[in-house]
């Protein structure tokens, strides 16, 4: 099971909604996608453990997406972190952190490793190109596909030998009582969950290609239909829904809601007309994703 915690679902200036920050958790894996100002405050005040974060992935270097990261790293250090922290982001992310540390008399007590992509256990995180007004990238988080033996079927056929089961599970054929047992006949494939987060973006083909078929898409949905969202490189909720529909994703989270909206009801209504599985999470809500 994947847990997605929507820490800050606003964008631009803070409002009732905080600035962008999304936590992706599975077992020991925790990634923080974007880290706007106030991310650590929201986490600490809501008992979300900042020390469990293994990876921080930043979509682009606009203030509302990144200025919570230098102070978050300082707090991790103050709390005694020694474990490496992986960091992903567009060009300039390393410089931004290093400059910020130097100007505030700080040096982390733990290593930062800047990576382009990352596999930790069963989870693989890769960036994809997005279409914003400054260098930007989204992130695809993929759980490894797995397969389980169809024990019921084997039992029905009278196969109980654990050595046979093990061999089939390893993907190898077994000769048994004059028959050839093929693994593909006895394995139930389970496709890993896939989650994509765009950060700020116009709707575009690069995004559609990258997020095709994901279980959950978090897409820029700054404005309602009719607003010229393109002026600042954003999307309306309807444009987000069109991407979701085109890419045949399972669910769409409308995020980066502008502070001008007191509530997102209208944005959701508009999106649902195009893509019914749309929703607008509120700050600190979460979603448990299961393969389904």
How many alpha carbons fall within 13 Å on the CB side of residue 165?
14
Question: Was 234 annotated as part of a binding site?
Answer: no
Q: Which stretch binds its own copies (CB under 8 A): 11-19, 159-167, 210-218, 239-247?
A: 11-19
Cβ-contact 282, 249 below 8 angstroms: no
Residue among 104 and 265 whose Cβ is closer to its own copies: 104
Q: Which stretch binds its own copies (CB under 8 A): 20-28, 97-105, 147-155, 184-192?
A: 97-105
Site for its own copies in 70-89 (CB under 8 A): 70-71, 74-75, 78-79
Taking the complex as a whole, the smallest distance from the CB of residue 45 to its own copies amounts, in Å, to 7
Residue 88 region by backbone torsions, left for phi larger than 0, else alpha for psi between -120 and 50, else beta: beta
Based on the residue annotation, tell me whether 161 is a catalytic residue of this protein.
Answer: no
Report the SS3 class of residue 24: strand
Site for its own copies in 181-240 (CB under 8 A): none
Q: What is the token pair recorded at 238?
A: 């309807």
Question: Was 62 annotated as part of a binding site?
Answer: yes
What's the rounded Cα separation, in Å, for the pair 214 and 250?
6
Residue among 71 and 281 whose Cβ is closer to its own copies: 71
Residue among 18 and 138 whose Cβ is closer to its own copies: 18
Taking the complex as a whole, the smallest distance from the CB of residue 221 to its own copies amounts, in Å, to 19
Residue 180 region by backbone torsions, left for phi larger than 0, else alpha for psi between -120 and 50, else beta: beta
Packed helices 237-246 and 265-274: angle between N→C axes, nearest 10 degrees: 30
Question: Was 200 annotated as part of a binding site?
Answer: yes
**Residue 104 interacting with its own copies (CB under 8 A):** yes
3-state secondary structure string, 92-123? CHHHHHHHHHHHCCCCCCCCEEECCCEEECCE
Q: Which stretch binds its own copies (CB under 8 A): 62-70, 141-149, 153-161, 206-214?
A: 62-70
- Chain centre distance of CA 24: 6
12 phi, psi to nearest 5 deg: 75, -105
**Residue 13 interacting with its own copies (CB under 8 A):** yes
In the complex, the residues that contact its own copies under the rule CB under 8 A are 12-16, 18, 37-38, 40-41, 44-45, 61-64, 66-68, 70-71, 74-75, 78-79, 92, 95-96, 99-100, 103-106, 134
Enumerate the active-site residues. Answer: 64
Binding-site residue numbers for Zn(2+) are 60, 62, 64-65, 132, 200, 256
């Amino acid at each position: 099971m994947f847990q997605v915690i929507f820490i800050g679902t606003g964008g631009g200036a803070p409002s009732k909604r905080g600035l962008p920050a999304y936590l992706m958790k599975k077992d020991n894996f925790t990634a923080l996608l974007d880290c706007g100002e106030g991310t650590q405050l929201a986490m600490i005040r809501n008992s979300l453990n900042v020390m469990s974060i293994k990876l921080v992935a930043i979509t682009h270097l606009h203030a509302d997406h990144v200025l919570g990261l230098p102070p978050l790293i300082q707090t991790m250090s103050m709390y005694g972190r020694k474990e490496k922290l992986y960091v992903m982001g567009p060009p300039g992310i390393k410089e931004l952190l290093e400059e910020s540390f130097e100007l505030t008399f700080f040096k982390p007590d733990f290593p930062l490793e800047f990576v382009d992509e990352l596999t930790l256990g069963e989870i693989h995180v890769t960036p994809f190109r997005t279409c914003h007004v400054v260098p930007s990238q989204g992130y695809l988080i993929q759980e490894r596909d797995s397969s389980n033996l169809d024990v019921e079927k084997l039992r029905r056929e009278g196969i109980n030998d654990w050595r046979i089961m093990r061999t089939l599970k390893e993907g190898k054929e077994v000769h048994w009582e004059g028959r050839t047992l093929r693994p593909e006949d006895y394995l139930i494939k389970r496709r890993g969950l896939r989650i994509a987060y765009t950060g700020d973006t116009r709707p575009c083909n690069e995004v559609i290609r990258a997020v095709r078929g994901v279980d959950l898409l978090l897409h820029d949905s700054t404005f309602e239909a009719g607003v010229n969202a393109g002026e600042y490189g954003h999307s309306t909720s309807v444009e987000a829904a069109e991407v979701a529909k085109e890419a045949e994703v399972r669910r769409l989270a409308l995020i980066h809601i502008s502070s001008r909206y007191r509530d997102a009801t209208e944005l959701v209504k508009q999106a649902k007309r195009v893509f019914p599985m749309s929703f607008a999470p509120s700050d600190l809500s979460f979603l448990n994703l299961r393969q389904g």
